[in-house]
Amino acid sequence: MSVVDRQEWDVVVVGAGGAGLRAAIEARERGARTAVICKSLFGKAHTVMAEGGIAAAMANVNEHDNWQVHFRDTMRGGKFLNQWRMAELHAQEAPERVWELETWGALFDRTKEGKISQRNFGGHEYPRLAHVGDRTGLELIRTLQQKIVSLQQEDKRETGDYESRLKVFQECTVTRILKDGSRVSGVFAYERETGRFFVLEAPSVVISTGGIGKSFKVTSNSWEYTGDGHALALLAGAPLLNMEFVQFHPTGMVWPPSVKGILVTESVRGDGGVLRNSEGKRFMFDYIPDVFKEKYAESEEEGDRWYEDPDKNRRPPELLPRDEVARAINSEVKAGRGSPHGGVFLDVSTRMPAEVIRRRLPSMYHQFKELADVDITAEAMEVGPTCHYVMGGIAVESDTAAARGVPGLFAAGEVAGGMHGSNRLGGNSLSDLLVFGRRAGWHAAEYSAALAFERPAVDEVQVDTAAAEALRPFSAEGPAPGEPDGRPPENPYTLHQELQQTMNDLVGIIRREAEMEQALEKLADLRVRARRAGVEGHRQFNPGWHLALDLRNMLLVSECVARAALERSESRGGHTREDHPAMDRKWRRINLLCQLTDPTGGLAATDPVRGQIDLSRETTEPIRADLLALFEKEELVKYLAEEELYE
């Protein structure tokens, strides 16, 4: 069967968003022949949706900012669950990564002195986000895309071929990581356009596929976010870390229904927008948690003064970390103080002149005008929480981005876990992509170079198995083993909708034990039915087929989220338990790891009781003393258990 096209590369990068492209640039600049594979067209990755900015302590706007302050904010935002070494590297390296973009042609908004302008954002003590209006993600992706083109132009001049050292395989999907023993040997993929299979052989694979939001009904994420990288890593034998932490962005559109979930940037609040309930009250003042009491304004007057004089006043509570704001909105709606379409009001119209709004928030102005017939310069927006980001992900070594347990596998960006702890601050995602994308590309290139003369071999059996798995939806009409004849195949779109509804309702923003148990049963049922997901037509650009294949990944990842969420009996960051509403210091040092129950490849798919995922606990390394010393003792007491404080 394996008459599949094969190519040899040094490094294969799966995913072409910010992390993947930054990894590819680094690997190629370090001499590795690098292939990038992405599901969409080159330059369309989900990174374009990022609006607010890139967090980096450049101190262009407030001279007091530095990496230590950024590190502190990141740890607070993640409720101290962050893999602290990642948070440290991130805070230290982010400014260099931003400045480097300028040398590749990026054009950020400027300060009066001509430096890169920085804006306020939730959880960041100082104005820290480098930005371009509210389309920073587009600038990032385009800059990286154009840098890749420029490297290809160099290669053309030297070798006569644009793609001799760096090639983008666009509109292709990877379905399996191939292995030689414990080591990575390449990837199995198909071309979406033709349906043809191919194998890229490589000692190093960087996974940078982003998140999992498409498993939820209300989400700001695009169709690509089906947890492919998370699933690929699991299937390759790597563990996923802390998958219970899913960020619901407080402000997504709520109306009309067809755009429900689309993101409304946090910059609206960073630039002065306020949240009000149906009674016109700025309710966030009622929701400042104890750990943040000293850092936020107590009155509207103080909060308003902060925009002009941040040194003498405290910030308004609209700028609390996202988990806090999302929960507050959820509570207001539940208490009957919501807006007509089940959200709350986000208002800039009474806070800034119309032309300032249009200049600072052009895409928001455009988005509401075009999609909801709302003029945000004249009236308030209606917003509510939307599934936005997963903090959990592939467990990686902090310095090298190497996935634990699978030599040759690396992960960067949203798909990697640890960096953001239990909750990510706005703006820390784009900087994460750049810092760890670069590190992944660097170490993948080094690892690959060391194996230049003993490249891991691709196993024919694995290629055949992967091909058979990918073709399965075309022959799904047949009965399942031991089942009566004549059952029709399942519609993959229907299965997907049921999955989204399940995760939204039962493992959503507020979680309860019984509901999560129910979710696990429903997921098992869907898993059995997904085996019979069938498709019509042929392999050429067939979205039904693509979805049928993506379902495997969404189901695996959803089970991880549900199992980990059921296990963690506390509320922290992006994990809120109604039955365990408080943060518990004992849980701070506990990571939850998900691994495949049956690593030999059987997916236990027809067994509704036994799941596919094994969960284990692990106690994390103590935070390094010099990093702990950056915090006041009184603050640490709120997060760290007694024994940690005395260590």
Partner 1 sequence: MSSYEARFKVWRGDVKGGGLEDFEIEVNDGEVVLDIIHRLQATQAPDLAVRWNCKAGKCGSCSAEINGRPRLMCMTRMSVFTKEETITVTPLRAFPVVRDLVTDVGFNYTKAREVPSFVPPEGVGPGEYRMMQEDVDRSQEFRKCIECFLCQDTCHVVRDHEENKPAFVGPRFLMRVAELDMHPLDAASESGLDRKKTAQDEHGLGYCNITKCCTEVCPEGIKITDNALIPLKERAVDRKYDPLVWLGSKIKRRSS
Catalytic site positions: 249, 269
Site for partner 1 in 47-86 (CB under 8 A): 48-49, 58
Site for partner 1 in 2-41 (CB under 8 A): 40-41
Nearer to partner 1, 49 or 236 (CB): 49
| CA distance linking residue 215 with residue 212, whole number of Å | 6
Tell me which H or E stretch contains 265.
none
- Candidates 149, 356, 471, 605; binder of partner 1 (CB under 8 A) is 149
Site for partner 1 in 213-252 (CB under 8 A): 222-224
Is residue 202 at the binding interface for partner 1, with CB under 8 A as the rule? no
| CA distance linking residue 476 with residue 598, whole number of Å | 23
CB 10, min distance to partner 1, A: 22
Instruction: Give the amino acid at 80.
Output: F
Contact criterion met (CB below 8 Å) for 94 and 20: no
Is residue 296 at the binding interface for partner 1, with CB under 8 A as the rule? no
Is residue 198 at the binding interface for partner 1, with CB under 8 A as the rule? no
- Candidates 66, 465, 518, 542; binder of partner 1 (CB under 8 A) is 542
Q: In three state form, how does the secondary structure of 181-234 look?
A: CCEEEEEEEEECCCCCEEEEECCEEEECCCCCHHHCCCECCCCCCCCHHHHHHH
- Candidates 2, 68, 85, 109; binder of partner 1 (CB under 8 A) is 109
Is residue 371 at the binding interface for partner 1, with CB under 8 A as the rule? yes
Nearer to partner 1, 235 or 390 (CB): 390
- Candidates 31, 105, 479, 622; binder of partner 1 (CB under 8 A) is 105
CB 324, min distance to partner 1, A: 25
Is residue 102 at the binding interface for partner 1, with CB under 8 A as the rule? yes
Instruction: Give the amino acid at 476.
Output: A
User: Which two tokens mark 385?
Assistant: 């929480």
Is residue 498 at the binding interface for partner 1, with CB under 8 A as the rule? no
Judged by CB under 8 A, the stretch of 109-117, 292-300, 570-578, 581-589 that binds partner 1 is 109-117
Q: In three state form, how does the secondary structure of 268-295 look?
A: HHHCCCEEECCCCCCHHHHHCCHHHHHH
| CA distance linking residue 168 with residue 38, whole number of Å | 8
Tell me which H or E stretch contains 147.
helix 136-159
Is residue 174 at the binding interface for partner 1, with CB under 8 A as the rule? no
Is residue 387 at the binding interface for partner 1, with CB under 8 A as the rule? no
| CA distance linking residue 418 with residue 402, whole number of Å | 13
CB 532, min distance to partner 1, A: 15
User: Which residues are 197's β-sheet partners?
Assistant: 190
Is residue 103 at the binding interface for partner 1, with CB under 8 A as the rule? yes
Nearer to partner 1, 248 or 410 (CB): 248
Is residue 96 at the binding interface for partner 1, with CB under 8 A as the rule? yes
Per this entry, what is the length of the chain? 647
Contact criterion met (CB below 8 Å) for 556 and 227: yes
Contact criterion met (CB below 8 Å) for 4 and 198: yes
Is residue 363 at the binding interface for partner 1, with CB under 8 A as the rule? yes
Tell me which H or E stretch contains 588.
none
Is residue 372 at the binding interface for partner 1, with CB under 8 A as the rule? yes
Judged by CB under 8 A, the stretch of 95-103, 347-355, 388-396, 561-569 that binds partner 1 is 95-103
Is residue 258 at the binding interface for partner 1, with CB under 8 A as the rule? yes
- Candidates 135, 249, 360, 572; binder of partner 1 (CB under 8 A) is 135
Helices marked H in 534-640: 543-567, 625-628, 633-639
| CA distance linking residue 623 with residue 618, whole number of Å | 15
Q: Strands, E, within 86-219: which ranges? A: 118-119, 129-130, 166-170, 172-180, 183-191, 197-201, 204-207
Site for partner 1 in 518-537 (CB under 8 A): 535-537
Is residue 626 at the binding interface for partner 1, with CB under 8 A as the rule? no
CB 258, min distance to partner 1, A: 5
Site for partner 1 in 323-362 (CB under 8 A): none
Is residue 210 at the binding interface for partner 1, with CB under 8 A as the rule? no
